[in-house]
Amino acid sequence: MKKIVYIFALVFVSPLSLFAAEDSAVDECTETYNKTLTGDWGGARASLCNQGMNVDLVHKSDVLSTVAGGIKQGTAWLGHTEVGVGLDLEKLWGWDKMTAFVLYHSQLGSKFNANYVGSFMGVDNIETGVNGTQFYQAWVQKNFAEDRFSLLGGLYAIDSEFYVTETSGLFLQPPYGMANDLAQSNGPPIFPIGALALRLKYVADDFSVQYALMDGVPGDPNNPYGTHIRLDKGDGSLSIVEFGYAPKLSGEGAEGREYFNKTAVGYWRYSSRFADLDPAVVDALGNPIRHASQGAYFLAERTLFVEDDQPSNGLSGFVRFGTATSSIHQADKTGSVGLHYHGLLDGRDDDMAGIAVTVNHASDKYRMLNNSSSIETNVEAIYRAQINPWFALQPTVQYINHPNMDPVLKNIWVLGVRAEIGL
Alpha carbons within 13 angstroms on the beta-carbon side of residue 403 total: 24
| pLDDT over 90 at 12, yes or no | no
pLDDT of residue 254: 64
Comparison of pLDDT for 284 and 183, the residue scoring more: 183
235 pLDDT band (50/70/90 cuts)? confident
| pLDDT over 60 at 62, yes or no | yes
pLDDT of residue 380: 98
Which residues, 6+ apart, have CB-to-CB distance to 104 below 8 Å?
A: 82, 83, 133, 134, 135, 136
pLDDT of residue 26: 52
Over residues 351-366, mean pLDDT: 97
| pLDDT over 50 at 11, yes or no | no
pLDDT of residue 309: 84
From residue 21, give the alpha-carbon distance in Å to each of 7, 55, 75, 234, 259. Answer: 19, 18, 49, 54, 37
Q: What is the DSSP letter of 410?
A: P
Burial class (CB in 10 A: 0-12, 13-18, 19+), 140: middle
pLDDT of residue 294: 97
Over residues 170-195, mean pLDDT: 93
Report the mean per-residue pLDDT for the chain: 90
| pLDDT over 50 at 24, yes or no | no
1 pLDDT band (50/70/90 cuts)? very low
Over residues 284-297, mean pLDDT: 92
Which residues, 6+ apart, have CB-to-CB distance to 250 below 8 Å?
A: none
pLDDT > 70: what percent of the chain? 92
From residue 6, give the alpha-carbon distance in Å to each of 10, 59, 265, 266. Answer: 6, 20, 43, 42
User: Which backbone phi and psi does 298 adopt, to 5 degrees?
Assistant: -135, 140
Report the alpha-carbon distance of residue 221 to residue 215 in Å, rounded. 13
| pLDDT over 50 at 23, yes or no | no
| pLDDT over 60 at 25, yes or no | no
Q: How many residues does the chain have?
A: 423
From residue 265, give the alpha-carbon distance in Å to each of 78, 157, 160, 396. Answer: 34, 18, 16, 30
Report the alpha-carbon distance of residue 312 to residue 163 in Å, rounded. 25
Question: How many contiguous H segments (helices) and E segments (strands) does the chain have?
Answer: 7, 16
Q: What is the DSSP letter of 39?
A: T
16 pLDDT band (50/70/90 cuts)? very low
The amino acid present at 276, given as its one-letter code, is: D
Residue 152 β-bridge partners: 141, 199
Ranking 55-59, 103-107, 305-309, 416-420 by mean pLDDT, the lowest is 305-309
Helix intervals (H) in 112-205? 112, 180-183
Report the alpha-carbon distance of residue 60 to residue 390 in Å, rounded. 12
Closest C-alpha to 249, from 231, 262, 268: 262
Report the alpha-carbon distance of residue 31 to residue 21 in Å, rounded. 15
258 pLDDT band (50/70/90 cuts)? confident
Over residues 17-28, mean pLDDT: 47
CA 27 from chain centre, in angstroms, equals: 30
**pTM (two decimals):** 0.90
259 pLDDT band (50/70/90 cuts)? confident
Ranking 24-38, 108-122, 293-307, 321-335 by mean pLDDT, the lowest is 24-38
Closest C-alpha to 267, from 297, 245, 236, 299: 297
Over residues 44-51, mean pLDDT: 91
pLDDT of residue 304: 95
| pLDDT over 70 at 2, yes or no | no
- Segment holding 58, helix H or strand E: strand 53-68
| pLDDT over 80 at 41, yes or no | yes
Q: With beta carbons less than 8 A apart as the criterion, state whether 45 and 4 touch.
A: no
